[in-house]
């Protein structure tokens, strides 16, 4: 049994390569870790439908942290259906306010709403097409009417995609609206991930650790982006891949090879106590 009982890994730019491939050495390391009794959990900003195929491929579909921790799904051994273990939605006025900021500042930003397992967009723009290609998930085109974000149709995450200078402006504007109670961090320079202020990947790790009765000291988190920073800082061991944001590297316990060179495999074999 490995000393680290549960490993949480980001997906994009961490687990998979820049060409969205899972390297054989990474898949092999995960399988050896799970066979030895460890638990491997994907912890991603992706929606559920953008994680399911990958989770099944590496045999870790039982628990999934989605939407930066705003949604945690559980699949029982006797069922292929997923159940919600935890969810936290954004306040109803957040999406209209963000749309207003984008309009008033004349920002060229793609605003995406994630409501449960649904990915909703107002148009099939360049950024949406690119994200579909990356994740394998498909967006639903629909007007962002007043019902979106209410109690019957809660929004769990808002993803804003655009060039870095455009995202900079949006971030500066959001800094002026603390009343929205939002947590917003970049998963990459062109992506701003927006969730409720109480949500983070680390909060999700705490929930999963409690659910599985595993002490936080026996957890390891691997990531690259600003949205991974909370779990890198506060998990038992925090691992940054070599292609991580500088502040993520600074907070990490260890730095491993990049996502394109099997960093996750290196982390599992060197730091979990895996004997093979």
Range scoring the smallest mean pLDDT among 7-16, 148-157, 171-180: 148-157
Average pLDDT estimate for 91-120: 95
Please report where in the chains the tokens 């999700």 appear, as a residue.
Answer: 204
The CATH architecture to which 94-196 belongs is: 2-Layer Sandwich (3.30)
Half-sphere exposure of 217 (CA within 13 A, CB side): 0
Strand ranges in the chain using DSSP code E only, listed in sequence order = 6-9, 39-43, 63-66, 71-75, 82-87, 110-115, 118-121, 140-141, 157-161, 182-188, 191-196, 219-223, 237-241, 254-256
| Residue 153 CB-density burial (10 A; 0-12 exposed, 13-18 middle, 19+ buried) | middle
What is the percent of the chain where pLDDT is above 90? Answer: 86
pLDDT at 117: 87
pLDDT at 78 over 80: no
Contact 228, 14 (CB under 8 A): yes
pLDDT at 82 over 80: yes
User: Domain limits of the chain?
Assistant: 6-87+199-271, 94-196
Please report where in the chains the tokens 């994907």 appear, as a residue.
Answer: 42
Average pLDDT estimate for 207-218: 96
Please report where in the chains the tokens 């007007």 appear, as a residue.
Answer: 143
pLDDT at 147 over 80: no
pLDDT at 79: 62
* Fold designation for 6-87+199-271: Rossmann fold (3.40.50)
pLDDT at 172: 97
pLDDT at 261: 98
Average pLDDT estimate for 243-267: 98
Average pLDDT estimate for 46-69: 91
């Amino acid at each position: 049994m490995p000393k680290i009982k549960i490993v949480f890994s980001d997906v994009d730019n961490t687990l998979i390569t820049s060409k969205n491939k899972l390297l054989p050495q990474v898949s092999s390391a995960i399988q050896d870790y799970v066979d030895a009794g460890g638990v491997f959990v994907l912890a991603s900003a992706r929606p559920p439908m953008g994680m399911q195929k990958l989770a099944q491929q590496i045999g870790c579909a039982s628990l999934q942290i989605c939407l930066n921790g705003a949604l945690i799904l559980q699949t029982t051994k006797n069922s292929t259906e997923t159940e919600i273990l935890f969810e936290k939605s954004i306040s109803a006025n957040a999406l209209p306010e963000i749309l207003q900021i984008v309009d008033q500042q004349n920002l060229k930003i793609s605003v995406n709403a994630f409501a449960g397992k649904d990915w909703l967009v107002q148009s099939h723009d360049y950024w949406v097409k690119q994200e579909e290609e990356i994740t394998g998930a498909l967006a639903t085109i629909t007007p962002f009417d007043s019902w979106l974000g209410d109690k019957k149709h809660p929004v769990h995450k808002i993803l804003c995609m655009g060039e870095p200078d455009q995202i900079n402006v949006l971030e500066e504007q959001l800094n002026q609206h603390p009343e929205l109670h939002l947590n917003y961090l970049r998963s990459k320079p062109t992506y701003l991930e927006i969730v409720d202020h109480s949500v983070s990947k680390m909060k999700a790790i705490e929930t999963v650790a409690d659910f599985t009765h595993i002490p936080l000291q026996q957890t390891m988190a691997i990531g690259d982006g600003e949205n991974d920073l909370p779990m890198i800082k506060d998990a038992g061991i925090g691992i940054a891949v070599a292609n991580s944001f500088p502040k993520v590297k600074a907070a990490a316990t260890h730095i491993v090879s990049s996502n394109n060179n099997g960093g996750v495999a290196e982390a599992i074999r060197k730091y979990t106590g895996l004997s093979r």
